[in-house]
């Protein structure tokens, strides 16, 4: 009678002396074990182990290359949680810079020295410092995940020195500048879009993704819930916002409210003229037939309008910067500016607009100087309730000196 030999990937299950069941199977040249309180539990774990091996999920850092790991990381960790456009940026850095240089190395052989050599070589090749900085950040994020997945014990990219990138000066807009800009856009098809972007500090995708359902003209509020992006092969689609704090409700300044009311009347007239060719997308800003506006076309039209008016070149995104600088220059608290812009942290707001805050600090220094010199027109606010109470008791009114 012939004896049946168990296949290499079938595994075996037995009862231990301590009452637990143990399953064993040979995978990728190694003996792997699972444990369970019952035979079925051990059998289920063993079957899952084999399925993971078939999907390539049980490889170790000695068995998988950097290139294969990065591609799996993109699919398993990056694609499900990032917006399509952001994912595409990650994928391009991996495909164009990381895989060609590091792809053949075993993941376990990747050292800080090897990563540093890559960073230096990319800088010497003429690649911009910012791109090299992003490349290093992507690799560092990927290796951080490898550490969490217990494939690695340390992050080689995190132990390197990246290039120092000077922060690009953010254009500050004065009230006079804003007035000139709005006058130049008066009557242009993008007039209301510019007013909304400048008055609310919206990102371009957020402004283009606004629907009339998001706008409450009676309560003078707008709810920022999504962004509009153009994706290759998919056209224009609504995508999730960058962070949870990007989902926000904003009060409409009267100038923005008036512009939106006028814009809605114009859009109603366009709809009537278009007739059956009108596409009812619900977007606030649309083409002449109701379709979504393309971000690139908007930017080009905006810059042509600036050039025609003899104004300096400006990115559409600079309208968002302009809103922030105007708010800060008017003395609006940075926390309110942060919430208006949908920043994830107040430090981001203050670091981005440090040139504006410096001017405010100088104004604050002048005010404290005047207060200490006892000059009139400066109100003392230290321990104000107590001081006001004493003054009121003596004079019957609060002295605002």
40-73 tens-digit pLDDT? 988 888 887 777 666 555 567 777 899 989 998 9
pLDDT at 4 over 80: no
Locus of tokens 């027109």: 377
Q: CA-to-CA distance for 354 and 185, rounded, in angstroms?
A: 29
| pLDDT at residue 294, rounded to an integer | 93
Residue 133 pLDDT = 95
Residue 77 in this model has a pLDDT that exceeds 50? yes
Per-residue 3-state assignment (H helix, E strand, C coil) for the chain: CCCCCCCCCCCEEEECCCCCEEEEEEECCEEEEEEECCHHHHHHHHHHHHHHHHCCCCCCCCCCEHHHHHHHHHHHHHCCCCCHHHHHHHHHHHHHHHHHHHCCCEHHHCCHHHHHHHHHHHHHCCCCHHHHHHHHHHHHHHHHHHHHCCCCCCCCHHHCCCCCCCCCCCCCCCHHHHHHHHHHHCCCCCHHHHHHHHHHCCCHHHHHCCEHHHEECCCCEEEECCEEEEECCCEEEEECCCCHHHCEEEECCHHHHHHHHHHHHHHHHHHHHHHHHCCCCCECCECCCCCECCHHHHHHHHHHHHHHCCCCCCCCCHHHHHHHHHHHHCCCCHHHHHHHHCCCCHHHHHHHCHHHHHHHHHHHHHHHHHHHHCCCCCCCCCCHHHHHHHHHHHHCCCCCC
Please give the share of the chain, as a percent, with pLDDT higher than 70: 84
User: Is residue 383 pLDDT above 80, yes or no?
Assistant: no
Between residues 135 and 233, which one has the greater pLDDT? 135
| Mean pLDDT computed over 27-31 | 67
Encoding tokens for residue 400? Answer: 């605002």
Based on its alpha-carbon atoms, the radius of gyration of the chain, rounded to whole angstroms, reads 30
- Residues near 71 by Cβ (< 8 Å), separated by ≥ 6? 94, 99
Average pLDDT over residues 25-31: 71
Q: Around Cβ 119, how many Cβ atoms within 10 Å? A: 20
Q: Does pLDDT of 248 surpass 60?
A: yes
Most confident segment among 219-228, 348-357, 373-382: 219-228
Average pLDDT over residues 372-396: 47
Q: What is the distance between the alpha carbons of residues 83 and 87, in angstroms, rounded to a whole number?
A: 6
**pLDDT greater than 90 at residue 173:** no
Greater model confidence, 357 or 76: 76
Judged by average pLDDT, the poorest of 199-203, 224-228, 254-258, 369-373 is 369-373
- In degrees, rounded to 5, the angle at the alpha carbon of residue 399 between the alpha carbons of residues 398 and 401 is 150
Please state which of the ranges 157-166, 279-288, 334-343, 355-364 shows the lowest mean pLDDT: 355-364
More confident residue, 53 or 166: 166
Which pLDDT score is estimated for 400? Answer: 37
Alpha carbons 376 and 175: distance in angstroms, whole number: 28
- pLDDT (average), residues 160-177: 80
CA distance 216 to 225: 14
Averaged pLDDT, 76-81: 86
The residues, any chain, with a CB within 8 Å of residue 245's CB and separated by 6 or more, are 339, 342, 343, 344
Of residues 133, 197, 220, 213, the one with CA closest to residue 168 = 133
d(CA 303, CA 295): 12
Q: Which pLDDT does position 395 carry in this prediction? A: 39
pLDDT digits (tens, 9 = 90+) for 97-151: 999 999 999 999 999 999 999 999 999 999 999 999 999 999 999 999 999 888 8
pTM: 0.65
The first and second tokens of residue 265, run together, are 């009347």
In this predicted model, which residue has the larger pLDDT, 373 or 314?
314
Cα separation values, 249 from 90, 234, 252, 328, Å: 30, 29, 10, 19
Tokens 């109701």 label which residue? Answer: 290
Whether the per-residue pLDDT at 252 is higher than 90: the answer is: yes
Across the chain, mean pLDDT equals 84
> What domains lie within the chain, and their CATH numbers?
15-54 (no CATH), 66-159 (1.10.150.130), 175-340 (1.10.443.10), 358-395 (no CATH)
Whole-angstrom distance, CA of residue 176 vs CA of residue 127: 39
Contacts 24+ apart (CB under 8 A), 379-386: none
């Amino acid at each position: 009678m012939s004896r049946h030999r168990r296949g290499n990937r079938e595994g075996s299950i037995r009862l231990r002396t301590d009452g637990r069941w143990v399953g064993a199977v040979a995978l990728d040249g190694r003996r792997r074990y699972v444990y369970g309180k019952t035979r079925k539990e051990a059998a289920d774990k063993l079957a899952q182990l084999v399925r993971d091996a078939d999907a390539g999920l049980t490889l170790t850092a000695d068995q998988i290359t950097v290139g294969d790991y990065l591609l799996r990381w993109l699919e398993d960790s990056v694609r499900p949680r990032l917006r399509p456009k952001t994912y595409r940026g990650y994928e391009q850095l991996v495909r164009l810079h990381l895989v060609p240089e590091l792809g053949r190395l075993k993941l376990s052989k990747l050292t800080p020295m090897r990563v540093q050599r890559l960073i230096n070589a990319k800088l010497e090749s003429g690649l911009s410092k910012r791109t090299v900085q992003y490349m290093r950040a992507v690799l560092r994020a990927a290796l951080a995940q490898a550490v969490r997945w217990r494939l690695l014990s340390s992050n080689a990219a995190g132990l390197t020195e990246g290039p120092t990138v000077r922060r690009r000066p953010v254009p500050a807009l004065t009230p006079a500048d804003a007035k000139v800009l709005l006058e130049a856009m008066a009557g242009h098809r993008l007039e209301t879009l510019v007013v909304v972007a400048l008055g609310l500090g919206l990102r371009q995708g957020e402004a283009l993704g606004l629907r009339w359902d998001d706008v409450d003209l009676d309560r003078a509020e707008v709810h920022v819930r999504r962004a509009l992006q153009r994706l290759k092969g998919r056209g224009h689609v609504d995508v999730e916002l960058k962070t949870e704090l990007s989902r926000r409700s904003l009060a409409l300044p009267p100038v923005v409210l008036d512009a939106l009311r006028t814009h809605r009347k114009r859009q109603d007239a366009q709809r009537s003229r278009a007739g059956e060719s009108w596409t009812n997308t619900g977007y606030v800003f649309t083409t002449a037939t109701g379709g979504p506006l393309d971000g690139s076309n908007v930017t080009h039209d905006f810059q042509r309008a600036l050039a025609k008016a003899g104004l300096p070149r400006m990115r559409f995104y600079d309208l968002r910067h302009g809103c922030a600088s105007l708010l800060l220059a008017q003395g609006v608290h940075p926390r309110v500016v942060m919430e208006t812009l949908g920043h994830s942290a107040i430090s981001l707001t203050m670091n981005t607009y440090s040139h504006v805050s410096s001017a405010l600090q100088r104004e604050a220094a002048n005010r404290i100087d005047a207060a200490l010199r006892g000059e009139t027109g400066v109100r003392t606010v230290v321990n104000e309730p107590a001081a006001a109470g004493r003054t009121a008791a003596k004079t019957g009114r609060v002295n605002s000196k």
